[in-house]
Amino acid sequence: MNNFILKNENAIYYECGYSCDNVIYLNLGKESFFITDARYTIEAQDHVKNAKVIESSNLIEAAQKVIKKSKVKKIIFDGNDFSYDSFTKLTEKLKAKFVNEPSFSQKKRMIKSDDEITILHKAAKLGRQGFKEFAKYVRKNGFEATEKFLFFKATEKMSQVGKLGLSFEPIVAINANAAKPHALPTGKKLHKDDLLLMDAGVKYKRYCSDRTCVSHVDFEHFNFKREQTFKKKKHQKIYDIVLKAQLNAIDNARVGMKASEIDNLTRSIIEEAGFGKEFVHSTGHGVGLDIHEYPFINSKSDVIIEDNMVFTIEPGIYLPNEFGVRIEDTVAMINGKAVIL
């Protein structure tokens, strides 16, 4: 793919090692161009690899000049990158044909290099440390804390008090709020024997981590280990089903399977237990520079799983107005099998 244009920050970072929030990146034959405004020129010149930095107050006009000069006939673009207005302005005076290939950069990034997996492994370790620090806080100060305050503390602990960026805003949900897969924090307070769900991740060298744990709230021993003993029988029953489904997929995922087959490894266990309708999302998604990227592990995906793909395995059961359980790890396919990062 010789001729393409990008606006997505992570896609551009992948190509040249730097990005910012106002840039057009062009790859035309053997030449690449990083077009940005004066706010970013110095950093771009310091960090951009294998591309010429062009400063302009009008990125679209600058891109048009470069494209005209190159005389290329066809340029690949991702329709998700452009607003209708910016795409119309860019293309209206050009003879080159623009071909829409949605998510072409994500597809290109689907199989990670060994170096990327090393970075993702480090991100996962830093994320795990954040969970441990948050668990320590809950043991000492969590009693009667609201979800909103726990959300604030989760943000603080995961980021190592601002040292790390977050992959996304943490989800911290007690009991009935955990029945919403992407719950917003409320004023509900944490008590002994509650069920607490936390979904969080950090960024290391721009690469994301992603993990979800569900725990029984006991202020002496509270932790995010996978072995959990709940006081309420229904909590324990649902937790055990979801954990069984998750481990079935981690243990049996193999290179050469379709993504839909891995989805079935979790879904079949939950359906057999009678909770198929309460598993309302896909089994997982790729993780890399974006928190959600290819491959998507769902019932419709024919993507063949290959070594060095990285994705989550996160089945869940959600019982509205009662509670929800989701258990998530990020795995890398190494030597044909899934390895938890």
Task: Give the helix ranges, DSSP H, for 142-258.
Answer: 147-158, 233-252
Share of the chain above pLDDT 90, in %: 99
**Mean pLDDT across the stretch 277-302?**
98
Pairing type for strands 165-166 and 202-204 reads antiparallel
d(CA 144, CA 271): 36
What pLDDT was estimated at residue 236?
Answer: 98
134: helix, strand or coil: helix
**Whether residue 65 has pLDDT greater than 70:** yes
Q: Is the pLDDT of residue 289 over 80?
A: yes
Give the model confidence (pLDDT) of 172-201 as tens digits: 999 999 999 999 999 999 999 999 999 999
Cα 176 versus chain centre, distance: 25
Average pLDDT value for the chain: 97
Q: What is the mean predicted confidence (pLDDT) over 271-276?
A: 98
Instruction: Decide: 70 and 28 in contact? Cβ < 8 Å.
Output: yes
User: In which band, very low, low, confident or very high, does the pLDDT at 38 lie, cut at 50, 70 and 90?
Assistant: very high
Report the chain's terminal Cα–Cα distance, integer Å. 31
pLDDT for the residue numbered 217: 97
DSSP string spanning 154-170?
HHHHHTTTTTSEESS--
Q: Which residue has the tokens 């340029």?
A: 75
Model confidence pLDDT, tens digit, residues 229-246: 999 999 999 999 999 999
Query: Do the Cβ atoms of 267 and 280 come closer than 8 Å?
Result: no
- Amino acid identity of residue 320, one-letter, is P
Q: Which of 125, 120, 110 minimizes the C-alpha distance to 307?
A: 110
Would you say residue 1 has pLDDT above 70? no
Tell me if the pTM is above 0.75.
yes
pLDDT at 3: 96
**Confidence class for position 27, pLDDT limits 50, 70, 90:** very high
User: pLDDT band for position 2 (50/70/90)?
Assistant: confident
**What is the pLDDT at residue 126?**
98
CB-based contacts of 132-140 (< 8 A; 24+ apart in sequence): 132/224, 133/157, 133/160, 134/158, 134/198, 134/200, 134/224, 135/215, 135/222, 135/223, 135/224, 138/190, 138/196, 138/217, 138/219, 138/222, 139/219, 139/220, 139/221, 139/222
Say yes or no to pLDDT of 338 above 70: yes
Residue 249, C-beta contacts closer than 8 angstroms, at least 6 positions apart: 262, 265, 266, 283, 313, 315, 338
| SS3 at position 198 | strand
